[in-house]
Amino acid sequence: MDKENKAQLSSFLQVLPPVEFCCIYGSALHQNNRDKSSMVDYILGVSDPVQWHSENLKMNRDHYASWMVYLGGAKLITQVADEIGVGVHFNPFVTWNDGMVKYGVVRMHDLVEDILNWERFYLSGRLQKPVHILADNLDIGILNSVNLRAAISAALLLLPSKFTEEDLYAKICSLSYMGDLRMLFAEDRNKVMKIVQGQFDLFQTMYGPPLDEYVAKDLLRFSSSGGQPAHIYQDCGLSAAHSLVSYLPPMVRSQMGRKLGENEKMSASGRVIHEVVIGSREEAATCMQKVVRRIVMVSSARQAVSGLLAVGGVNAARYLGSKMHKAWKSWT
């Protein structure tokens, strides 16, 4: 992304109350000359959503569904996001700079928890795909490296002993869509491959450093010849599977432990560590997949209901219609 486009996208923050974190994702990442017919997607992290929405309602009342503004204002907006959804309030179809913007607002504490634990596996899933950070007061970009390692480990458990770099990124990308109810009727069936192929260089930049760590630990080996795409070989032994599971988020490991059993071990620092009992790599992969699918299914259902309430009737129909049109095109 060139400086001019970055400056243009950053200027949207000037019409909003201050934020702790901001990133953009989606097609805007690889458009130096922005297509103003496509919507630019922002994630905004704030310390106190009620206070932030209160200020934003004074500045940008028209960004919100009218029924939420009149019936409860900032408190209702935040309650719907927290109690019905997964802690994120989205304002789509916001007109700005001759184009359209969608922005999601999340409490910073919830964002951090999702990155570290995959508690909702919603924004953490988005941050496993390429994003461009425009503001970061709390070093979320650095913290997200934990999320990227967890994504690599989960993907490797689901991949065979030999695969390509594109296979790896596609599997990582697909994690946050496993169990997503929208994939049944309101998403492009080719979405994952379109994301990976359209942003392949960004995936390489994003995942290069953590993949080097896996190579250094002999969990992976890259091989290329004659200018052909690199093949990746992984250790599929039980010891390697234990290592991969240990990189998964604590909440995922805990749920796997309840299904497969746990052993208690003492760390070098004297802390008790609960280690998931793994009978085979296939057993660990199947269990992990079920746990993640369950989290995504619940979160996607909650966010779908919350989102429809948040945008109001007309915009809800407009947004759902747009999604279903893309899905229909991909199926036909």
The listed range with the strongest mean pLDDT (222-231, 270-279, 281-290, 311-320) is 281-290
pLDDT at 4: 78
The listed range with the strongest mean pLDDT (54-58, 190-194, 197-201) is 54-58
The pLDDT of residue 27 is above 80: no
For the segment 93-102, the average pLDDT, to the nearest whole number, is 91
The pLDDT of residue 30 is above 70: no
**pLDDT classification of 94: cutoffs 50, 70, 90:** very high
Strands (E), 97-219: 99-107, 131-136, 162-164
C-beta separation of 210 from 156 below 8 A: no
- Burial class from Cβ neighbours inside 10 Å (0-12, 13-18, 19+) for residue 160 reads exposed
Q: Picking from 68-77, 157-166, 182-191, 245-254, which range would have the lowest pLDDT averaged per residue?
A: 182-191
pLDDT at 330: 45
The pLDDT of residue 34 is above 80: no
Task: Report the distance separating Cα 243 and Cα 8, nearest Å.
Answer: 43
Task: Report the distance separating Cα 176 and Cα 26, nearest Å.
Answer: 15
For the segment 123-131, the average pLDDT, to the nearest whole number, is 96
**pLDDT classification of 327: cutoffs 50, 70, 90:** very low
pLDDT at 126: 95
Give the chain's mean pLDDT. 88
pTM: 0.90
pLDDT at 183: 64
Task: Report the distance separating Cα 85 and Cα 78, nearest Å.
Answer: 10
